[in-house]
């Protein structure tokens, strides 16, 4: 089973490159299932149901979210309409939507768990470690289990990767928009990567226009952070999983320019 994981989709440039590259990428790499982070798809702040449908049409099978999940008006009601939209599982009780779902593919079932980090994050969230424990209780689900961890601190991501080694097929991080080079298969068969990177413009500061952010750092004055447009790349990773035991057999990072 081959699973494609895409980093944060940033604004219209990120949506555009996903629409242009994902269909051919899925065919070329024989991808069975695609997980994409849509946290920044709506001008950098959350996603709407209409934009989610665009990404599903392009080939995403499930969209994960993060600390901007409620930024778009009415999305709290919209998230209930599509089971392919996953908000972090460890949000406080009473939040709408779901943070875990199992999907059937010709290669076997894929369970996706969305989690939100707490270190250096402003969003309210319960312990991701305990939330993962609760999600994994009960009879084995079979097939692949992918944990997408939207977190700021590399240490928190690495710790969760070790904590879940052997219990899930992959733990991959998002949120920082910078792809890390620590892809590996942990000793008990879990694929790991601290951050998938982003689907968005590299000629930027994390997907935003450079000059306003430089101005903010130099003066401390509030400025508008518009989405940049130039040098757009698609970033993520491919993970191969043995569906008979759920163990990862390979992980490969992707960095593809817009053409």
**Among the options 68, 150, 175, 177, which is catalytic?**
68
Place of tokens 């009960």: 138
Separation between Cα atoms, residue 16 and residue 54, nearest integer Å: 10
68 is catalytic: yes
The residues carrying an active-site annotation are 68
């Amino acid at each position: 089973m081959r699973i494609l994981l895409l980093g944060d989709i940033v604004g219209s440039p990120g949506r555009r490159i996903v629409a242009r590259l994902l269909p051919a990428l899925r065919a070329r790499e024989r991808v069975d299932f695609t997980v994409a982070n849509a946290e920044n798809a709506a001008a950098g702040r959350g996603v709407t149901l209409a934009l989610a449908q665009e990404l599903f049409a392009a080939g995403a099978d499930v969209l994960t979210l993060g600390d901007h999940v409620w930024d778009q008006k009415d999305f709290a009601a919209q998230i209930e309409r599509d089971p392919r939209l996953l908000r972090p599982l460890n949000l406080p009780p009473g939040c709408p939507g779901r943070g875990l779902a199992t999907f059937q593919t010709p290669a076997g079932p894929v369970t996706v768990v969305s989690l939100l980090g707490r270190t250096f994050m402003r969003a309210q969230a319960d312990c991701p470690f305990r939330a993962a424990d609760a999600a994994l209780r009960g009879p084995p689900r079979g097939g692949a289990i992918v944990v997408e961890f939207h977190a700021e601190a590399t240490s928190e991501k690495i710790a969760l990767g070790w904590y879940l080694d052997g219990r899930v097929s992959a733990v991959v991080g998002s949120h920082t928009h910078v792809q890390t080079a620590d892809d590996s298969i942990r000793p008990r068969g879990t694929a790991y990567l601290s951050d998938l990177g982003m689907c968005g413009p590299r000629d930027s500061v994390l997907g935003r226009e450079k000059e306003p952010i430089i101005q903010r750092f130099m003066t401390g004055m509030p400025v508008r952070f518009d989405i940049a447009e130039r040098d757009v790349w698609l970033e993520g990773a491919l993970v191969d999983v043995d569906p008979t035991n759920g163990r990862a057999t390979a992980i490969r990072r992707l960095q593809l320019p817009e053409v």
